[in-house]
Amino acid sequence: MRPANLVIIMSDEHHPRAMGVAGHPLAITPHLDRLAARGLRFEAAYCNSPICVPSRASFATGRYVHELGMWDNAIAYDGSIPGWGHALQQSGHRVDAIGKLHYRRAEDPTGFDHQYQPMHIYGGHGMVWGALRDGKADFTERAHVMLNPIGPGTSKYNIYDDRIASEAERWLAQRAGEATERPWVLFVGFVAPHFPLTVPQHLLDLYPTQNMPAPRLHPSRGHPRHPWLEAQHRMHPVDDALDEDGRRLATACYLGLCTWVDAQVGRIVDALAATGLAETTRVIYTSDHGDNIGARGMWGKSTHYDDAVGVPMLIAGPDIAAERVCATPVSLIDLAPTILAAVGENPDAWNGTVPGRSLFEIADAPFDPERTVFSEYHAFASPSAAFMLRNGRYKYNYYVGYQPELFDLSQDPNEERNLAADPAHAHIVARLDHQLRQLLDPEATDARAKADQAALIERFGGPAKALHIGAPGATPAPV
């Protein structure tokens, strides 16, 4: 593969199947669909922690959250652990960022030459109150903030995303015709379709509320939540504030925001064509995690069901064959070696111990039934650590102190039937549980995360004070 420039586009909270090309019956995403048609789509792509800040730390470094100790939205990437950006800088590549990164602060050496319109965690300390995991904190008030407002309008996030797309268009125009010794890398971070679920009216009109499906597996229709999920819901009962009409409106707004971010991606792809850079530039599109969109009565991220832990993953550009789909499981940590390979660097040279592999290598090989991807959650509203392994057709969710889950995704893509207690699948559970414990000690890792979080709370003055430190809802957009 010849070296080429690279644009990495990362949205926030994009459900892996909320694209036309992924088979969603309602999502209108023409630009992403065309991007996928020009190149490669990974249909089993995952984040490594289904919440913003830890997921982005794994993306930046190619390492798992438990290796980094960046457990939640109050412990952000600060550049102290080298990442792919540092490796590219050391090799002489220009590496710039536009938009949402959600690292600690712009002044940190996180591997970018320039940051334009950056968005980082609130105040450099983030969501301190989310580190309260002793089960005593009441997050009910914040639960009401999460989806308020819902409906037509223009949010500050929409305005910010528009600025980011404009900044990216200007940046690409400046690169047109510019002579460079080595390919450059541009990261572009959008906020949509992250809540608040406010979307311009012309996009909401594409999704009539009466046509929206009711959320899958909803408890109001008799579906029992897993006990770990039920404990999470009790701490942060977002869905309780919605009736059926509200859930359908929320779904319509979410899909409208998917169409919104699709349009911003289209602006970047169009700018590449207009500047003559399309023939020398590859594009990667992904997200930091997905969104439950009301399934099981849950909204936002923070679960290990595919709705929230899955992400879209598209690659197009020079030397990428069109209309290819790869079924081998991959995750965001695979992007570190992929980015290096894309610009002509040895993906193993900077740090051969990272667990990811280049997506180009994975896609060029036959389907790998033995490849396993891993995710973990130690953050907001969780009663204990949760871990996920995706291996071939099976998905294994392990919860410290709770019964596990096993799903056969080839037969049950919506994860409706837990097979963990089925004697016929006992050998699968045993194999995946052994694989998990080869990677880490779940109980010890849970204890370490909680100890680190308790120490953080004490540094901020104890639980009573920490409960009020951090933005009450999502991180505010930069002014």
- Secondary structure class of 375 (helix, strand, coil): strand
- Decide if 474 is inside a domain: no
Per-residue pLDDT tens digits for 352-376: 678 999 999 999 999 999 999 999 9
Give the strand pairing for 5-12 and 185-193.
Answer: parallel
Question: Is residue 42 scored above 70 in pLDDT?
Answer: yes
- Expressed as residue numbers, the domain containing 68 is 5-466
CB 377 within 8 A of CB 304: yes
Residues forming a β-bridge with 199 = 152
The C-alpha atoms of residue 127 and residue 218 are separated, in whole angstroms, by 28
Q: Is residue 22 domain-resident?
A: yes
- What are 229's two structure tokens? 């999920």
Tens of pLDDT, residue by residue over 56-95, are 999 999 999 999 999 999 999 999 999 999 999 999 999 9
Cα–Cα distance, 472 to 145 (Å, whole number): 7
The residue type found at 108 is D
Task: Compute the 3-state secondary structure of the chain and give helix, strand, coil in percent, each to the nearest 5.
Answer: 40, 15, 45
Q: Which two tokens stand for residue 263?
A: 């349009």
The DSSP result for 158-210, as a single string, is: HHHHHHHHHHHHHHHHHHTT---SS--EEEEEEEEESSS-EE-HHHHTTS-GG
Span 116-167, pLDDT tens digits? 999 999 999 999 999 999 877 778 888 878 888 999 999 999 999 999 999 9
Per the structure, the count of domains in the chain is 1
Does residue 477 fall inside a structural domain? Answer: no
Phi/psi at 439 (5° precision): -85, -40
Instruction: Give phi and psi for 232, each to the nearest 5.
Output: -65, -45
The secondary structure of 235-257 as a DSSP string is HS-GGGG--HHHHHHHHHHHHHH
Strand partners, 115: 97
Mean pLDDT, rounded, for 202-226: 96
The predicted structure's pLDDT at residue 137? 78
Assigned token pair, 94: 């220009």
| 182: confidence class by pLDDT, cuts 50, 70, 90 | very high
Residues for the chain: how many in total? Answer: 479
| Residue 436 falls inside a structural domain | yes
- Would 337 be classed as within a structural domain? yes
Does 439 reside within a domain?
A: yes
* E-state strands within 210-323: 281-287, 313-316
| Count of CA atoms in the C-beta half-sphere (13 A) of 122 | 18
Determine the average pLDDT of the residues in 216-225: 95
Distance CA 440, CA 293 (A): 31
Is it the case that residue 350 has pLDDT exceeding 70?
A: no
pLDDT score for 351: 61
How far apart CA 294 and CA 12 sit, in angstroms, is 17
H or E, element range at 467: none
CATH assignment of the domain containing 403 = 3.40.720.10
Identity of residue 335:
L
- What is the average per-residue pLDDT within 253-279? 98
Contact 233, 298 (CB under 8 A): yes
β 324-326/40-42 pair status: parallel
pLDDT on residue 281: 98
Which tens digits make up the pLDDT trace of 291-330? 999 999 999 999 999 999 999 999 999 999 999 999 999 9
388 within domain boundaries: yes
Q: Give the 3-state secondary structure of residue 118.
A: strand
- Residue 479: per-residue pLDDT: 83
Cα(102)–Cα(73) distance, integer angstroms? 9
Report the chain's mean pLDDT, rounded to a whole number: 96
Q: What is the DSSP letter of 410?
A: T
Task: Report, as an integer, the average pLDDT of 439-462.
Answer: 97
Cis peptide bond prior to 227, omega within 30° of 0:
no
Q: Are 420 and 395 in contact (CB under 8 A)?
A: no
